[in-house]
Amino acid sequence: MVTPERVKEWESKYLQPWISKRKERKNKFTTPSGIEIKTLYTPLDLKGDYEEKIGFPGEYPYTRGIYPNMYRGRIWTIRQYAGFGSAEDTNARFRKLLEAGQTGLSTAFDLPTQLGLDPDNELAYTEVGVVGVSMFHWKEMDIVTNQIPLNKVSTSMTINATAMELLSMYVATAESRGVSPTEIDGTVQNDILKEYIARKNYIYPPEPSMRYAIDIIEYSYKNIPKWHPISISGYHIREAGADAVLEVAFTLADGIEYVRRTAERGIPVDDFAPTLSFFFAGYTNLFEEVAKFRAARRMWAKIMRDMFNAKKADSMTLKFHTQTGGAELTAQQPEINIIRTTIQALAAALGGTQSLHVNSYDEAVALPSEKAAKIAIRVQQIVAYESGSTETVDPLAGSYYVEWLTDEIEERAWKIIERVEGMGGMMKAVERGFPQAEIAESAYRLQKKIEEGEMIRVGVNMSYEPDWIGTTEVFRVNPEIRERVLTRLKKYRSERDQMKVRDSLNALRKAAENPSVNLFPYVLDAIKKGCTVGEISSTLREIWGEYKEPIIF
């Protein structure tokens, strides 16, 4: 049996004499989250018994995974995030990704779509189709999904402030093909809290925005049962500069707020909680990332059981998508990003993800080229089928270091969640600027470590080669697509029944004025009548106004 005395004996007899002759690489070893790492971990570092802290996969506390046999049954969904230019451009990329081995769609929308602006709005002109597909009318969704069976392929849509409009377009498209809303499967991000915290693509003030988000959850669980009506997203929190601990804490605190607000409508937790999903980043520090995923899964199970009295297993299981860390990609020597994303993908697999996107190596330079996107799929396939990481469940379980680090991340994250709850929940914390300030401070610490060389970035502060040319193919969106999009917008408006458009927007306006009314049926009706994203958003702006972020710093 290992005892504290035996560890001290080893340190004095073996470790210290060795270090005195051969200095270590640095004075202090820490994870990117600032958690100090010891030289050695032993059974003395484990806390609690096996059943309480680790358990078995497929049962509470789900530390080891939400399914009993995990990837021995099926591999995670290979879901590459894509979208650019016009609907035709994105459809072509989707079909090539599916041919290359992608198993689910993940759609990127341009900034005008995300912010409720039609492509002919003067504020939208230069951004049409640049960072995602332009999606202003339901018939554009029909083009994006051309020759893709909506009752067989799962689709994820990264959209928040206009999530209801985009999901309505998907429903309208499915119905136009004879596919019932009960048959479609996928996810709409719909996480407005993280927009205020990190990403900043919001339109309306927090309270009506929260109503909008909960309306989608309520409508979906009743009418689109296979759909995940929200993807509670830590990814953007991490990309804004948060460390792994803050990512877990703020994401789960957001989740608590959404569950609380939905339950306040009188909807039983076990009716809607199984449809909730999460979205995390996968960064390069392999062990911290694996521990982060395991801690988050255990914490969410405890939150749902103890805070919300959930009874169903599906209500307590944290189902999550992972995207590899975009902020860790480097424009310098971009090809070596393939190595980074491979480690990040492995961390996601070892951490038990249900869905995965691997960033393309050229994304620090431009939108992914077709070649780079295909390599990203191959990274997933190699991790899945060649690495051995999927042959047994939670293969790092029992590692003294991983189990200690899982506990450490959990303990630190609980303290932050307690602070948020002490402020009255995440909405109140956002209004006070607490998460924003914490993320900014974390981002500053991280950047300082990189600039001072304490945190290595190969190609940036180590092995930097100013004359590196590389072979990166830079992908650019064809600027001519803007005119194609504008021409179709004009055509759609000319062909619709203007009186039906007016009536549907008037009905939406009245519904928005009444907080007790669910908006989804009114937005869906407006979409089917031919209204555009910009027209619907303008109607809601009239009632709710626009949010102006307070100056915090």
Cβ-Cβ contacts under 8 Å for 165 (sequence gap 6 or more): 116, 523, 527, 533, 536, 537
For residue 339, give both structure tokens. Answer: 């190595």
Question: First and final CA of the chain: distance in angstroms?
Answer: 53
Give the pLDDT of residue 293.
98
The DSSP result for 264-294, as a single string, is TTT--HHHHGGG-EEEEEE-S-HHHHHHHHH
Give the pLDDT of residue 470.
57
For residue 200, give both structure tokens. Answer: 């900043």
Give the pLDDT of residue 476.
74
Mean pLDDT of all residues belonging to the chain: 95
> Using one digit for the tens of pLDDT, what is the confidence trace for 180-214?
999 999 999 999 999 999 999 999 999 999 999 99
Give the pLDDT of residue 553.
57
> Using one digit for the tens of pLDDT, what is the confidence trace for 240-253?
999 999 999 999 99
> Using one digit for the tens of pLDDT, what is the confidence trace for 515-539?
999 999 999 999 999 999 999 999 9
Give the pLDDT of residue 134.
96
Q: Is the dihedral of CA 356, 360, 364, 367 positive or negative?
A: negative
The DSSP result for 360-407, as a single string, is -TTTTTSBPPHHHHHHHHHHHHHHHHTSSTTSSSSTTTT-HHHHHHHH
> What value does the mean pLDDT take over residues 448-477?
80
Whether the CB-CB separation of 205 and 219 falls below 8 Å is answered with no
**Alpha-carbon distance 552 to 97, whole Å?**
42
Give the pLDDT of residue 462.
85
- Highest averaged pLDDT of the listed ranges 75-89, 479-493, 506-520: 506-520
For residue 102, give both structure tokens. Answer: 């992608």
Question: Of 302, 293, 267, 417, nearest to 346 (Cα)?
Answer: 293
Question: Of 115, 122, 151, 105, nearest to 136 (Cα)?
Answer: 115
Question: Who wins on pLDDT, 120 or 365?
Answer: 120
> What value does the mean pLDDT take over residues 442-464?
90
SS3 of 186-243: the string is: EEECCCCHHHHHHHCCCCCCHHHHHHHHHHHHHHHHHHCCCEECCEEECHHHHHCCCC
Amino acid type, 306 = D
**Alpha-carbon distance 350 to 342, whole Å?**
12
Q: Is the confidence at residue 543, as pLDDT, over 70?
A: yes
Element (H, E) at 106: strand 105-108
Q: Is the confidence at residue 255, as pLDDT, over 60?
A: yes
> Using one digit for the tens of pLDDT, what is the confidence trace for 185-194?
999 999 999 9
Which band of pLDDT confidence, cut at 50, 70 and 90, is reported for residue 82? confident
For residue 350, give both structure tokens. Answer: 């070892």
Distance of CA 106 to the CA centre of its chain: 11
- Residue written as token pair 């005119």: 483
328 secondary structure, DSSP code:
G
Q: Is the confidence at residue 163, as pLDDT, over 70?
A: yes
Backbone angles phi, psi at 486, to 5 degrees: -65, -35
- Highest averaged pLDDT of the listed ranges 25-29, 126-130, 459-463, 510-514: 510-514
Give the pLDDT of residue 471.
56
For residue 429, give both structure tokens. Answer: 């914390």
Give the pLDDT of residue 459.
86
Please report, rounded to a whole number, the percentage of residues in the chain having pLDDT higher than 70: 98
Backbone angles phi, psi at 508, to 5 degrees: -65, -40
Answer whether the bond into residue 61 is a cis peptide, omega within 30°. Answer: yes
What is the greatest pairwise CA distance in the chain?
Answer: 87
Tell me which of 21-30, 167-176, 248-257, 400-409 is least confident. Answer: 21-30
Give the pLDDT of residue 300.
98
Tell me which of 70-74, 364-368, 387-391 is least confident. Answer: 364-368
Pairing of strands 277-282, 231-233: parallel
Pairing of strands 227-228, 231-233: unpaired
Give the pLDDT of residue 552.
61
Which band of pLDDT confidence, cut at 50, 70 and 90, is reported for residue 385? very high
Backbone angles phi, psi at 306, to 5 degrees: -90, -35
Q: Is the confidence at residue 285, as pLDDT, over 80?
A: yes
> What value does the mean pLDDT take over residues 458-473?
75
> What value does the mean pLDDT take over residues 433-459?
93
Amino acid type, 397 = A
> What value does the mean pLDDT take over residues 69-85?
93
User: Domains (ranges, CATH) in the chain?
Assistant: 73-450 (3.20.20.240)
Cα-based distances in Å from 58 to 66, 168, 200, 352, 442: 5, 34, 36, 11, 34
Q: Is the confidence at residue 469, as pLDDT, over 80?
A: no
Give the pLDDT of residue 366.
83
> Using one digit for the tens of pLDDT, what is the confidence trace for 298-349?
999 999 999 999 999 999 999 999 999 999 999 999 999 999 999 999 999 9
Cβ-Cβ contacts under 8 Å for 19 (sequence gap 6 or more): none
Please report, rounded to a whole number, the percentage of residues in the chain having pLDDT higher than 90: 88
